[in-house]
Amino acid sequence: MLKKQIILIGGGGHCRSCIDVIENQNLFEIAGIVEGVGKNTSKAVMGYPVLGCDHDLEALKKRYDYALITIGQIGSAGLRQKIFNRLKKIGFVLPSIISSLAHVSKHANLGEGTIVMHQAIVNACASIGSNCILNTKCLIEHDTKIGDHTHIATAAVLNGGVVIGSGSFVGSSATIVQGVKLPGNYFFKAGRLIISEKDGQKIKEEKL
């Protein structure tokens, strides 16, 4: 069976991790990398050629239907969101990518362009938005809802019924207590415990 070809947008460190996941999943063939304007467009990334820069996306759409954003996100989700909207406008299909070493419940929902990295777990009735990163060994428990353009970093734990608004970042090894609701564009530092105070609204962070 012929694999579908996919292009990757961004050739940095996160791209290398994404390449490993895509190769592991074995459903897509990576055609190459698209770099940002002004970046090095001559050096291959893990053996895959650089096909051009952002200015070439419209021309590349004539050859390729599938794309994945492989730019990392620490802090603002603005760049990933901007690229996502542009790719959609051009007409690219942004598939969800799931490592074969991850577990995603058949009762969970994943939005387009979301990647689930090695050994991540997404449990029953979780709902994950579009263009999200669920990084290595993170745990997304039952009934959790994650908004679009959100990065859950390595080994973070989101317990049951957590709600996170769009454009947020949850740092490595952070733990969010069950039922906590976080606003959009929230930045949660690595290694923290986050809880709600008695009114269920005020957010409190503590060091683990």
Topology (CATH level 3) of domain 98-199: UDP N-Acetylglucosamine Acyltransferase; domain 1 (2.160.10)
Which residue is associated with the tokens 């415990």?
193
Rounded percentage of the chain residues whose pLDDT exceeds 90: 81
State the pTM of this model.
0.93
Model confidence at 1, pLDDT cuts 50, 70, 90, reads low
DSSP secondary structure string for all residues of the chain: -PPEEEEEE--SHHHHHHHHHHHHHTSEEEEEEEEPTTS--SS-BTTBPEEEEGGGHHHHHTT--EEEE----SS--HHHHHHHHHHHHHT-B---EE-TTSEE-TT-EE-TT-EE-TT-EE-TT-EE-SS-EE-TT-EE-TT-EE-TT-EE-TT-EE-TT-EE-TT-EE-TT-EE-TT-EE-TT-EE-TTEEEEE-TTS-SEEEEE-
> Average of pLDDT values for 94-99?
98
Reported as a single tens digit per residue, the pLDDT across 161-194 is 999 999 999 999 999 999 999 889 989 889 988 8
Reported as a single tens digit per residue, the pLDDT across 5-56 is 999 999 999 999 999 999 999 999 999 999 987 666 668 899 999 999 999 9
- Candidates 3.30.70.520, 3.10.129.10, 3.40.30.10, 3.40.50.20; CATH matching 4-95: 3.40.50.20
CA-CA distance, 51 to 58, in Å (whole number)?
Answer: 12
Estimate to the nearest angstrom the gap between the alpha carbon of 170 and the chain centroid.
12
Q: Where are the domains of the chain?
A: 4-95, 98-199
Q: Is the pLDDT of residue 75 over 80?
A: no
| Residue 198: partners with Cβ closer than 8 Å, 6 or more residues away | none
CA-CA distance, 149 to 120, in Å (whole number)?
Answer: 17
